Structure 1
Amino acid sequence: MAATISVFIVAPDQTLWSGTARSVSAPTVEGSIGLLAQHEPVLSVLRAGTVAVVADDGARTELPITGGFLSFDEDTVTIVTDPGSGVAAAE
């Protein structure tokens, strides 16, 4: 079984997605970032775009965001998005 990461994607008023995943990609102000287990710690500002999560069962979820920030440390990624962000497509 592939190594997984814990993912928490939240807006100020709700949790948009949480669980374990194989990978997460997100649009940062410096370009796209892809995160896998054992990635070095990172803190980044997000720009408008789409966060893609590949869950540990292989299901893909895409969430449009308007901005926010991302924190990754010890195989846990937390993404805090601006109000109005949400799920666009799953699977």
Structure 2
Amino acid sequence: MAATITVDIVAPDQTLWSGTARSVSAPTVEGSIGLLAQHEPVLAVLRAGSVAVVGEDGARTEVAIEGGFLSFDQDKVTIVADAGSGLAAYE
């Protein structure tokens, strides 16, 4: 069984995505970042773009954001988005 991470993507008025995942990739102001279990702790400023989450079942979900912050520590990703504008799921 692949190691998983806990993911919470929130905007000021709603939860955009929450659950466990195999990986997360996000657009930071310094470039894209990819996160897997046991990644070093990181705090990053996000730019507008799409956060991609690969769930435990392998399904890919993308969440459009307008910017915000990302925190990763102890296999938990928290993304606080300035605003979320959409959700798309891919098999």
Q: TM-score, normalised by structure 2?
A: 0.95
Q: Calculate the aligned-residue CA RMSD, in Å.
A: 0.8
Match of 1:89?
88
Structure 1 spans left out of the alignment, 5+ residues: none
Match of 2:14?
14
Quote the sequence identity (%): 80
Offset at residue 89 of structure 1 (A): 1.1
Q: TM-score, normalised by structure 1?
A: 0.95
Distance 1:47 1:75 in 2: 22
Distance 1:49 1:10 in 2: 15
Where do 4+ consecutive residues of structure 1 move more than 2 Å? Answer: none
Distance 2:38 2:87 in 1: 28
Structure 2 spans left out of the alignment, 5+ residues: none
The answer on whether the counterparts of 1:4 and 1:37 sit within 8 Å (CA) in structure 2 is yes
Offset at residue 86 of structure 1 (A): 3.4
Distance 1:41 1:88 in 2: 26
Which has more strand, going by share of residues? 2
Count the aligned residue pairs. Answer: 90
